[in-house]
Amino acid sequence: MALDGIDLTVPTGSVYGFLGPNGAGKTTSLRIMLGLIRPTSGNAQLFGRDPQRAGIAALDGVAGFVENPAFYPYLSGRRNLHLLADLDGGDGHDRVDDVLEIVDLTGRGNDRVGGYSQGMRQRLGLAGALLRRPRLLLLDEPTNGLDPAGMRDMRSLIAELAATGLTVLLSSHLMVEVEQLCTELAVIAQGRIRFAGTLPQLRDGHGGSGYRLRVTDPVLALSACADLRDARVSIGDSGDLLVDADADGAARVTVCLGRAGVGIYAMSLDSPSLESLFFDLTEGGNSAQAVAA
């Protein structure tokens, strides 16, 4: 079973990350949303419309692509876009030049797509989606196969589009991408949603944030803070003092250390990386606790 009881609500105006390892069910989910495949049971709704019931009408205001965007290689990029505009009813013709400019393909618009690089095809895919003036953009691993510069450019383009108020559902297996671009995210593994919410919610739900202090005498520091009720203090492998507390609790620790004559060399926020949370959720099996959005 590719998907099992997926329940995903994407807030309007957000860049919503859909994070999961390869084979987790991200692309399958997007295919269902775009009406390319039918679920064995259940339904997907876009703006309240189910593609299985409403057909192509369910995709009004929705655009995007799954996997690598594909075009007719024997037609130019511009003609491919005109073709898509016609299939959408013809309203997009006057936007072809604009969207080519947005994705920085104006100079290559008249070249055959067969000669395009992977990055150019990805950008043309985005241009094709923008032709529809979407309110919701579904992007499936849009930086897949791009070189570092192409990835940077694509992410910056998505960020620019998001800044215009567009709702973006961004499927990715790249944690750095989701961390950079997304305001909320869902983590999917083995066809099930393991977490849905904001990044701070994810961190709070899985160990939360803490503080790391480098001090003159960790052992003395540990004993000095032993009686604090709103902070748990321990010594890490590197000899640093690890403080599990909120900001107020951490402040009280520093006061306590000063009174005990323990000097502080450095103090930093010690929050778990998205990567460690991701592995915790996707490889931690069913024990991972889901947090409602």
Partner 1 sequence: MTAYAWELRKLVAQRRTLIGLVAAALIPAAFAVGLAVNPAKPTQGGAQLDPENVLALAYNSSGLILPFIALFFSSLVLLPLLAGLVAGDIVAAEDANQTLKTVLTRSTSRLRLLAAKAGATATYVLTLLVIFGTSGVVIGAVAAGAHPVTLGGVPLGAGLVLTAPTIGVTDILGRLGLVLLVYAGPLLAVSAWGFLLSAVTRNSAASIVGMLVFSFANQIIGFLPSIPESVTKWLLTDQFTAWQAALGTQIDFSALWRAVGVSVLYALPPLVVSAWWFVRRDVLV
For residue 54, state whether it binds partner 1 (rule: CB under 8 A).
no
Stretch that binds partner 1, among 52-60, 149-157, 220-228, 259-267 (CB under 8 A): 52-60
DSSP code of 47?
T
CB-wise, 67 or 160, nearer to partner 1?
A: 67
Q: How many CA atoms lie within 13 A of 286 on its CB side?
A: 1
Residues 17-46 that bind partner 1 (CB under 8 A): 31, 34-38
Q: Where are the alpha helices (DSSP H) in the chain?
A: 26-33, 51-54, 77-87, 96-102, 118-130, 148-163, 175-181, 199-205, 218-224, 247-259, 274-283
Q: Determine if 160 is a binding residue for partner 1 (CB under 8 A).
A: no
What span, in angstroms and rounded, lies between the C-alpha atoms of 214 and 268?
Answer: 9
Q: For residue 250, with 0-12 CB atoms within 10 Å meaning exposed, 13-18 middle and 19 or more buried, which class applies?
A: buried
- List 7, 23, 42, 72, residue binding partner 1 (CB under 8 A): 72
Residue 161 or 245: the one with the smaller Cβ distance to partner 1 is 161
Least distance to partner 1 from the beta carbon of 159, Å?
Answer: 24
Q: Count the site residues for partner 1 by CB under 8 A.
A: 33
Asked if residue 69 binds partner 1 (CB under 8 A), the reply is yes
Q: Which is nearer to partner 1, 73 or 145 (CB)?
A: 73
Q: Is 84 in the site for partner 1 (CB under 8 A)?
A: yes
CA-nearest of 185, 72, 184 to 128 is 72
In angstroms, give the least distance from the CB of 225 to partner 1.
58
Rounded-to-integer distance, Cα 37 and Cα 33, Å: 8
Residues forming contacts to partner 1 in the complex (CB under 8 A) are: 31, 34-38, 55-56, 59-60, 63-75, 79, 83-84, 86-90, 128, 132
